[in-house]
Amino acid sequence: MNLLELQRKFNEALATRLNSQEGIRDRTMAGESMHELVEGIVKPNDRLSSVERLEIYSRSYWFRILSSLNEDFVGLRAVMGDEKFDALCEAYLAANPSRSFTLRNLGSRLESWLRANPRYTHPHEQLALDMVRIEWADIECFDAAEEPTLKLTEIQELGEDPGLRLQPHIQLLSLQFPVDSLLLQIREENDDGSDEASNTFSERRSRSRVKSVRKSKPKPTFVVVHRTDYLVYFKRVTPEAFRLLSALREGKKLSETIDLAFNPSTWPEAKIMELVQGWFADWAEWGWFSGSKLESNSSSADPLSN
């Protein structure tokens, strides 16, 4: 057995899910005898057998990665409940073992896995997906690059119909449930630092909020996840603003993004221009636009000029 084969076998044994008693299973995910596998790659010592030695590492591995998912997806845990969440995480990690040097990437495939395995979130599939999406967007936003920002005055100097770039950390989410406010409430209650009695009350209040959201009808919610001074924020926007930002993200020119955002619309052009100018003033102030700009090639009037 060469080194690569040894590493692969060790990883297979290590990453096999623990049993219900939090010990090593009798067989690997491939159906191989765990005892035979471990005895072939791990030596016993005068105190522990080969399996007992490997079990120490396996437990440490599983406890750590489960803890990491629990920290990253507190909202999903609140939506699903502790027992269902634990079962979901174990199944996900068995199908998607860690392939990265950092635990930050552990949940990168969770949304796609849940879409392919809806039984783990039944009967709240869409609510769970929305929660996973905003929690992963939070992680992506926090770690993404930030380019020099573009001020409103600089945008107005770009030409008649500029192309604009959003900051790499901007995440645009079209959701069916208002999970942004729900997640903030859950986090606030988890971090209140109260005594045990108060924490119990907070947990009950959190469960009550989750139940109310579960029972409510879907409500289209458009959220921009953005970062300022190393802090991540959730900003709700109108459907029109969301369509405009999405078109900018796709590389469309400013005049085209406005047409896409307000078509069809019965609003007068003056009202539309007033709205757009207000949005751009806020977005520029919050640093949403990247200083890496595209060239203008249109002869239409500047829709942001006063």
* Same-domain status, 9 and 152: no
Lowest model confidence (mean pLDDT) among 5-19, 154-168, 286-300: 286-300
Q: Residue 65 belongs to what domain range?
A: 1-71
Cβ neighbourhood burial of 261 (10 Å; 0-12, 13-18, 19+): buried
Domain final residue, candidates 27, 50, 71: 71
* Same-domain status, 154 and 289: yes
In the predicted structure, residue 171 carries a pLDDT above the cut 90: yes
User: How many domains, the chain?
Assistant: 2
Q: How many CB atoms lie within 10 A of CB 124?
A: 18
Query: What is the pLDDT at residue 203?
Result: 57
Q: How many CB atoms lie within 10 A of CB 192?
A: 12
Task: Give phi and psi for 23, each to the nearest 5.
Answer: -125, 180
Q: What is the pLDDT of residues 184-229, one digit of tens each?
A: 988 988 776 555 444 444 555 566 777 777 777 788 999 999 999 9
Does residue 24 lie in a domain region?
yes
DSSP 168-207: TT-EEEEESS-HHHHHHHHHHHHTS---HHHHHHHHHHHH
In the predicted structure, residue 134 carries a pLDDT above the cut 70: yes
DSSP 23-82: S--SB-TTS-BHHHHHHHH----SS--HHHHHHHHHHHHHHHHHHHHHHHTHHHHHHH-H
Does residue 252 lie in a domain region?
yes
In the predicted structure, residue 31 carries a pLDDT above the cut 80: yes
CA angle 173, 175, 181 (to 5 degrees): 90
Does residue 89 lie in a domain region?
no
Query: What is the pLDDT at residue 137?
Result: 98
Task: Give phi and psi for 290, each to the nearest 5.
Answer: -85, 145
Does residue 264 lie in a domain region?
yes
Query: What is the pLDDT at residue 119?
Result: 97
For 123, residues 6+ apart whose C-beta sits below 8 A from its C-beta are none
Does residue 197 lie in a domain region?
no
Does residue 8 lie in a domain region?
yes
* Same-domain status, 301 and 168: yes
CA angle 72, 285, 182 (to 5 degrees): 30
Does residue 61 lie in a domain region?
yes
Domain final residue, candidates 71, 94, 120: 71
For the chain, the residue count is 306
CB-based contact 235:226 (threshold 8 Å): yes
In the predicted structure, residue 92 carries a pLDDT above the cut 90: yes
Domain final residue, candidates 46, 71, 96: 71
pLDDT band at 63, cuts 50/70/90? very high
Query: What is the pLDDT at residue 47?
Result: 93
Averaged over 163-171, what is the pLDDT? 95
- In angstroms, rounded to a whole number, what is the distance separating the alpha carbons of residues 60 and 77? 21
Query: What is the pLDDT at residue 104?
Result: 95
Does residue 305 lie in a domain region?
yes
CB-based contact 247:261 (threshold 8 Å): yes
Nearest to 95 by CA among 79, 110, 115: 110
In the predicted structure, residue 271 carries a pLDDT above the cut 90: yes
Q: What is the overall mean pLDDT for the chain?
A: 87
Averaged over 32-53, what is the pLDDT? 89
Kindly state the greatest CA–CA separation across the chain. Answer: 84
Tokens representing 271 are 């009202």
Question: pTM of the prediction?
Answer: 0.84
Query: What is the pLDDT at residue 304?
Result: 66
Query: What is the pLDDT at residue 293?
Result: 47
Q: What is the pLDDT of residues 274-286, one digit of tens each?
A: 999 999 999 999 9
* Same-domain status, 156 and 282: yes
Query: What is the pLDDT at residue 210?
Result: 73
